[in-house]
Structure 1
Amino acid sequence: MRVLLTGLPIRSHLVPAVVPVANALRRAGHEVAIATGGAMRGEIERLGVPVLVLPDVLAPEQVQAKMPRPPGGTVHGWRPEVTGPVNVPLFDEQMTAAFTANLLDVAKPWRPDLIVRETNEYGGFLAAEVLGVDLAVLDIAPLIAGLVPDLVEQLNVVRAKFGLAAIGSLTPAYGKLAAGLLPESWYPQALRTPQHRYYRVPDVPGDPLDAAIAAVPADAPLVLMSLGSNVRMLLSAESRLLTIAVEALGTLPVRAVVALGHDPAAWTGPRPANVHFVSFVQQRLLLGACDAFLTHAGFSGVREALDHGVPMAALPLFADQPANAARVEELGAGVQVDVAGLTPDKLAAALKQVLDEPSARLAARGFQRRILALPSLTRFAADLEDLR
């Protein structure tokens, strides 16, 4: 079977789930490639999966580089501690049309039997229909479709460009099989579809934990802080978000590892003695040794925390993060923290609640057990074979 997986050229969209499925299919003897923008080609190929490059599909940092930059700030000049979460487009007709056109150009000669798209990427949906091949979905952002109320109408505009009939609901976009990456209980009732089956993302072998992190003293609870890889592109130079978070951690009786997203030597903010700074952290590896997670509530981070039964202080910043943070709180696995008006005291109080009150830890542990009861995502690869 020839399987073409598709995804936006964003690391968190591809590496945690799309690449493991691709490799599971390859181990089962299938011919596999991932179609995405060129920005992710090198990393995906290093992980062992061939890439079909879509030349007009740009990564967020490439889009930003083409935009005019005002003096002293980013494109948006965003200070979330003042203005709150920023609105970012959750669906782009022009980008979807470009993705579909590029995908058809590479898919026609490649001749897939099956296309598997990640939730945020709809070109795979349209291309599968044009090519007359089966479709499946890796649901890496379960709550995001519900945040675009006119998504069906926008999709129909793009569908018309490729001679496809209008659809009346999103049901066809899930194809024959949709892989949920958390138990069904994560999904609000309205987002549960007949196509969904639920899987556990397996641990991926990799490098051992960084020795400097391993050497952090074990004399206090360990908190990991990561606000994702895309935040720095949007933050204004005047934003105090990271400073506020570090100051909050510095007031607590904890040890903290803070992933800055850049060289720690360039950090000019506070340096509390109990905080260890890194540019990048092996998040999935480290979370199992943590007592709490300070997160922006991206779905991959939330899922990885729940995989390890780690309670969260969720500080949502954009996209589906507010919805994910609200769901974490609804399920009792952490607290949602409003970023607008954030102060070190407010954030420290939220972290203290997560660390001191057992309810969040117990809820996260309970959710972890439900995850452990799911079949491995490698089973999704086998289930795809049954579609033929």
Structure 2
Amino acid sequence: MNARPLTVLFMPESAYGPTNQCIGVGDVLRRRGHRVVFAAEASWRGKLTALGFEEDLVDLAPPAEEQAGQQAEQDAGQFWKDFIRETAPEFRKPTVDQLATFMQPTWQALIDGARYCEPQLRAILERTRPDVIVEDNVIAFPALLGTGAPFVRIVSCNPLEVSGPGVAPAYSGLPADDRSAWGSFRAEYDRTHRATWEEFNAWVVGQGVPPLPDLEFIHESRHANLYVFPQEADYTDARPLGPTWHRIDSSVRETDAVYELPAEVADRPEGSALIYLSLGSLGSADVDLMKHLVEVLGRTPHRYIVSKGPQHAEYELAANMVGAEFLPQTTLIPQVDAVITHGGNNTTTECLHFGKPMVVLPLFWDQHDNAQRMHETGFGYRLSTYAFTDEDMAAALAHVLDPAVRERAVEVGDAVRGREGLRRAADVIEQVGRTHADVIHAPDASDVEASHA
């Protein structure tokens, strides 16, 4: 077997969740001696080289020009203010009503980014000549499929993204045991997304790669597909997966700094729990929502560590709280009793990895699916993000702090950690690269084509 170091190219979605997921797996591969290159979005410049990776970044839209004598980087805070002001009303709608006004425009923006960066990706692939390509995204980038290098797909969203008739439709947040609204949600998704999908699929085929599955925006890999979700909460009993699919129960990066508990929350009254609050970069940018949470939680007897996010200067914490703009989540979660989260897949799976029950306040995308799954499996408690009361929050906290719930979470955490998700993911990627490396570097392109036939 060829034991030379591999070149692994990661193409994550620009969001923190998928990029952090790839950082975790990439760090394992890097420490095994492989060359790890990130074709991430340009706003990650410098953050990945600081962790020991190579960067060969892409723009997903034309670079912003200077306005009023200021660089675009100086306007980052304003971007989030504008985004939340314009978008937050959508998050208050039922998921089926978000399909036309939030989901479809979001897919279109992702499509526009994929089309814009296609020439950049082709140039990156020519420079790096990867042995294996890893994409953690929800949308296809045809360049990644056209090199002859094997392609590994990572699903770091809730695994309902891999659809099937026996499971609720993705992005719906609908319950597993009540199918009454599944059909109408799927019909509305088809109505609002069919034309967008058809146009994108035609472009994908025009780039010389196979067509997309019906109403899917990304291909399934024929080499290996990874998804991040613990066995104890999985859907495979209702939607079995084929042999190319590999469950990675958790994928918790090991690159975060150590978090030391401040004395204000470490020394707390007996009977007071320590709870971590994080709504992600977008949720925490909704200042009104964060103010409401601070007000309600400030009236409870517990102590809180708050990830304040990009609008950290716009609101004050209550006396029973400490916080900062950014916090090293993977070293913080093990030290708390429970977590209040937006239900992003990274945070959800990290909570299960560390055995922490959670209160889930979903906003958009797969967060509704994670909130519902945690609620119906007993690992969490779903709340109405914009309508919860003091009494609702008290009931949610009582559930997640119940000794029986916490004990079960601890047992699941022990099992999940024992499955070594990060290393399992690295093993699969390494195996794919090793299996196909000699073929990829063969001098005759016809040999490559024949090997994949």
- Bin the TM-score by the shorter chain: 0.7 to 0.9
User: Aligned pair count?
Assistant: 373
Q: Secondary structure at the match of 2:56?
A: strand
* 1:65-107 Cα distance to aligned partner (Å, 9 max, x none): 79x99x9995516257965776342563222222433211211
Letter in 2 for 1:101: P
* Preserved CA contact (<8 Å) 1:21 1:380: yes
* Preserved CA contact (<8 Å) 1:80 1:241: no
Task: Note the 1:302-341 alignment, pairs <5 A.
Answer: 302-341=348-387
Does 2:204 match 1:165?
Answer: no
* In structure 2, C-alpha distance between the alignment counterparts of 1:74 and 1:345, rounded to whole Å: 27
* In structure 1, C-alpha distance between the alignment counterparts of 2:199 and 2:134, rounded to whole Å: 21
* In structure 2, C-alpha distance between the alignment counterparts of 1:23 and 1:208, rounded to whole Å: 17
* Preserved CA contact (<8 Å) 1:306 1:368: yes
Q: 2:8 aligns with which of 3, 20, 37?
A: 3
Q: Secondary structure at the match of 2:24?
A: helix
Q: Secondary structure at the match of 2:280?
A: coil
Superposition deviation, residue 197 in structure 1: 1.8
* Preserved CA contact (<8 Å) 1:262 1:279: yes
Superposition deviation, residue 341 in structure 1: 2.0
Match of 2:23 in 1: 19
CA 1:256/1:34 → structure 2, altered by over 3 Å: closer, same or farther? same
Q: Secondary structure at the match of 1:104?
A: helix
Task: Note the 1:120-139 alignment, pairs <5 A.
Answer: 120-123=138-141, 126-139=142-155
Match of 1:354 in 2: 400
CA 1:24/1:321 → structure 2, altered by over 3 Å: closer, same or farther? same
Q: 1:183 aligns with which of 217, 222, 230?
A: 230
CA 1:52/1:121 → structure 2, altered by over 3 Å: closer, same or farther? farther
Match of 1:228 in 2: 280
Q: Which blocks of at least 5 consecutive residues in structure 1 are unaligned?
A: none
CA 1:57/1:140 → structure 2, altered by over 3 Å: closer, same or farther? farther
* Preserved CA contact (<8 Å) 2:353 2:413: yes
* 1:206-230 Cα distance to aligned partner (Å, 9 max, x none): 4321453686323321011011012
Greater shift in the superposed pair: 314-323 or 203-212:
203-212
* Preserved CA contact (<8 Å) 1:25 1:32: yes
Task: Note the 1:76-91 alignment, pairs <5 A.
Answer: 76=86, 78-79=88-89, 83=93, 87-88=102-103, 89-90=106-107
* 1:248-303 Cα distance to aligned partner (Å, 9 max, x none): 21222211111211475x3445x432222322222211111111111000111111
* In structure 1, C-alpha distance between the alignment counterparts of 2:421 and 2:16, rounded to whole Å: 21
Q: 1:198 aligns with which of 237, 243, 247?
A: 247
* In structure 1, C-alpha distance between the alignment counterparts of 2:243 and 2:340, rounded to whole Å: 34
Q: Secondary structure at the match of 1:330?
A: helix
* 1:33-59 Cα distance to aligned partner (Å, 9 max, x none): 010111012111111111111123589
Match of 2:39 in 1: 35
Q: Secondary structure at the match of 2:88?
A: coil
Does 2:382 match 1:364?
Answer: no
Letter in 2 for 1:116: V
* Preserved CA contact (<8 Å) 1:93 1:154: no
Letter in 2 for 1:272: A
Match of 1:207 in 2: 257
Choose between structure 1 and 2: higher helix proportion.
2
CA 1:154/1:372 → structure 2, altered by over 3 Å: closer, same or farther? farther
Q: Secondary structure at the match of 1:174?
A: coil
* In structure 1, C-alpha distance between the alignment counterparts of 2:94 and 2:386, rounded to whole Å: 4
Superposition deviation, residue 128 in structure 1: 3.2
* In structure 2, C-alpha distance between the alignment counterparts of 1:106 and 1:213, rounded to whole Å: 48
* In structure 1, C-alpha distance between the alignment counterparts of 2:357 and 2:261, rounded to whole Å: 25
Does 2:302 match 1:254?
Answer: yes
Task: Note the 1:274-293 alignment, pairs <5 A.
Answer: 274-293=320-339
Q: State the percentage of identical aligned residues.
A: 23
Q: Which blocks of at least 5 consecutive residues in structure 2 are unaligned?
A: 1-5, 64-71, 164-169, 172-188, 436-453
Superposition deviation, residue 13 in structure 1: 1.7
* Preserved CA contact (<8 Å) 1:222 1:254: yes
Match of 1:117 in 2: 135
Does 2:126 match 1:108?
Answer: yes
Superposition deviation, residue 307 in structure 1: 0.8
Superposition deviation, residue 26 in structure 1: 2.5
* In structure 2, C-alpha distance between the alignment counterparts of 1:251 and 1:80, rounded to whole Å: 29
* Preserved CA contact (<8 Å) 2:256 2:328: no
CA 1:329/1:158 → structure 2, altered by over 3 Å: closer, same or farther? farther
CA 1:24/1:58 → structure 2, altered by over 3 Å: closer, same or farther? farther
Q: Secondary structure at the match of 1:324?
A: helix
* In structure 2, C-alpha distance between the alignment counterparts of 1:28 and 1:81, rounded to whole Å: 42
* Preserved CA contact (<8 Å) 1:39 1:58: no
Q: Secondary structure at the match of 2:291?
A: helix
Match of 1:374 in 2: 419
* In structure 1, C-alpha distance between the alignment counterparts of 2:94 and 2:299, rounded to whole Å: 24
Match of 2:343 in 1: 297
Greater shift in the superposed pair: 71-80 or 49-58:
71-80
Superposition deviation, residue 191 in structure 1: 6.7
Q: Secondary structure at the match of 1:36?
A: coil
> Which entry has the higher C-alpha Rg, 1 or 2?
2
**Deviant stretches of 4+, over 4 Å:** 71-75, 79-86, 148-155, 169-172
Q: Secondary structure at the match of 1:78?
A: helix
CA 1:317/1:335 → structure 2, altered by over 3 Å: closer, same or farther? same
* Preserved CA contact (<8 Å) 1:257 1:276: yes
CA 1:22/1:268 → structure 2, altered by over 3 Å: closer, same or farther? closer
Q: 1:143 aligns with which of 149, 160, 163?
A: 160
Letter in 2 for 1:370: A
